[in-house]
C-alpha cells in the first residue's frame, strides 16, 4: 500500500503512483457507470452533441472554480462553477448529469484535495459524493423551472455531504475567531455560507432576462438532436409529394 500513499502526522498523502492509480480507477468507474446506465436506458447511446455540451460545461466549471472569493470563516465563492455542472444535468438528464458531475469531482480532488486526506470516507464526503451530487439536477430534466430547482437541490445536497464530513473530521479545525456559542453548527455555517452565497448570486444572474433568453436558446440547440436533418427530410418529402400529385 505504501506504493500508492504514505502516512505521516495523521495524514494520508498520495504518491505519484497513487495519483496515477486514482485517475485510472476513476476513469474505469466512469466508463462502467456509463455502460450500466446505457443498458438501463433501452440502449440509447450518448450522442456527440451530448458529449460536446457536457465536456464544455465541465471545462467551464473547472476554469471558473479557480476564480474565487474567500469567505471569512473559510470556503470560497466561485464564478458560478456549480451552475455549469447542474446545467449539463438539466440539459440531458440524470445519466449525463451524474457522469459529468463525477468527472468534476475527480478534477476537484486532483486540484485541491489530493495533497493530503484524513481517510477515504472523508475524501468521498468532501469531493466524490459532494460534487457528484450536483448531477442530481438531472432529475428535473424537462420540468417547469427545472433548471433553477435542479440547481438549488444539487447545491444543497453538495453542502450536506461537506457538512457530514465537517462533523466527522474537521471540528478540531474550527478557528478561534468563530463564536464558541455556535460551535455545534460550525460545519453547517462553514459550508453553507459560501454555497448559499454562490447559489443566490447564480440564481440572480440566470434570472436576468438577457441571460435567461440566452440559456433558453442554448437548451434548444443542445436538445435538437438531428433537427436540421429532420427538417431537410420533411422538406424533401413535401417536394416529392408535390411532384407526384402534379398533373
- The confidence score (pLDDT) of residue 11 equals 57
> Which fold, 48-225?
Arp2/3 complex 21 kDa subunit ARPC3 (1.10.1760)
Do the Cβ atoms of 140 and 154 come closer than 8 Å? Answer: no
- The confidence score (pLDDT) of residue 58 equals 95
Do the Cβ atoms of 90 and 137 come closer than 8 Å? Answer: yes
For the ranges 14-23, 124-133, 145-154, 161-170, the one whose mean pLDDT is highest:
145-154
pLDDT at 243 over 50: no
Do the Cβ atoms of 71 and 99 come closer than 8 Å? Answer: no
Q: Which helix (H) or strand (E) holds 76?
A: strand 76-78
Residue with cell 418529402: 237
Surface-to-core class of residue 146, CB atoms within 10 Å of its CB (0-12 exposed, 13-18 middle, 19+ buried): middle
Q: DSSP of 18-61, one letter per residue?
A: HHHHHHHHHHHHHHHHHHHHHHHTTTPPPPHHHHHHHHHHHHHH
Alpha-carbon gap, residue 190 to 29, rounded angstroms:
31
Q: Could you tell me the pTM of the whole model?
A: 0.77
Do the Cβ atoms of 78 and 109 come closer than 8 Å? Answer: no
Tens-place pLDDT, residues 46-71: 788 999 999 999 999 999 999 999 98
Angle between helix axes 209-223 and 186-206 (nearest 10 degrees) is 90
Residue 116: strand, helix, or coil:
coil
Residue 126: strand, helix, or coil:
helix
Alpha-carbon gap, residue 111 to 28, rounded angstroms:
20
Phi/psi of residue 147, nearest 5 degrees: -65, -45
pLDDT at 108 over 70: yes
Q: Map out the domains of the chain as residue ranges.
A: 48-225
Nearest to 117 by CA among 107, 130, 127: 127
pLDDT at 21 over 90: no
Tens-place pLDDT, residues 190-242: 999 999 999 999 999 999 999 999 999 999 999 886 654 444 444 444 444 44
Distance between first and last Cα of the chain? 83
Amino acid at each position: 500500500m505504501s506504493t500508492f500513499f504514505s502516512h505521516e502526522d495523521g495524514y494520508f498523502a498520495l504518491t505519484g503512483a497513487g495519483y496515477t492509480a486514482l485517475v485510472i480507477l476513476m476513469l474505469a468507474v466512469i466508463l462502467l457507470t456509463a455502460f450500466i446506465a446505457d443498458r438501463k436506458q433501452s440502449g440509447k447511446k450518448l450522442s456527440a452533441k451530448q458529449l460536446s455540451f457536457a465536456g464544455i460545461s465541465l471545462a467551464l466549471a473547472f476554469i471558473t472554480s479557480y476564480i474565487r472569493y474567500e469567505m471569512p470563516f473559510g470556503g470560497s465563492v466561485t464564478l458560478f462553477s456549480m451552475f455549469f455542472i447542474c446545467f449539463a444535468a438539466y440539459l440531458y438528464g440524470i445519466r449525463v448529469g451524474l457522469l459529468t458531475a463525477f468527472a468534476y469531482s475527480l478534477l476537484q480532488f486532483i486540484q485541491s484535495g489530493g495533497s493530503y486526506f484524513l481517510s477515504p470516507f472523508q475524501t468521498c464526503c468532501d469531493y466524490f459524493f459532494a460534487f457528484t451530487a450536483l448531477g442530481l439536477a438531472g432529475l428535473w430534466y424537462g420540468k417547469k423551472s427545472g433548471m433553477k430547482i435542479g440547481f438549488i437541490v444539487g447545491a444543497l445536497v453538495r453542502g450536506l455531504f461537506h457538512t457530514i464530513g465537517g462533523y466527522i473530521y474537521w471540528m478540531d479545525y474550527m478557528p478561534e475567531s468563530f463564536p464558541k456559542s455556535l460551535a455545534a453548527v460550525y460545519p453547517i455555517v462553514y459550508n453553507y455560507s459560501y454555497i448559499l452565497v454562490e447559489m443566490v448570486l447564480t440564481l440572480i444572474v440566470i434570472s436576468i432576462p438577457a441571460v435567461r433568453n440566452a440559456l433558453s436558446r442554448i437548451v434548444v440547440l443542445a436538445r435538437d438532436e438531428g433537427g436540421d436533418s429532420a427538417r431537410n427530410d420533411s422538406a424533401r418529402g413535401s417536394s416529392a409529394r408535390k411532384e407526384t400529385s402534379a398533373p
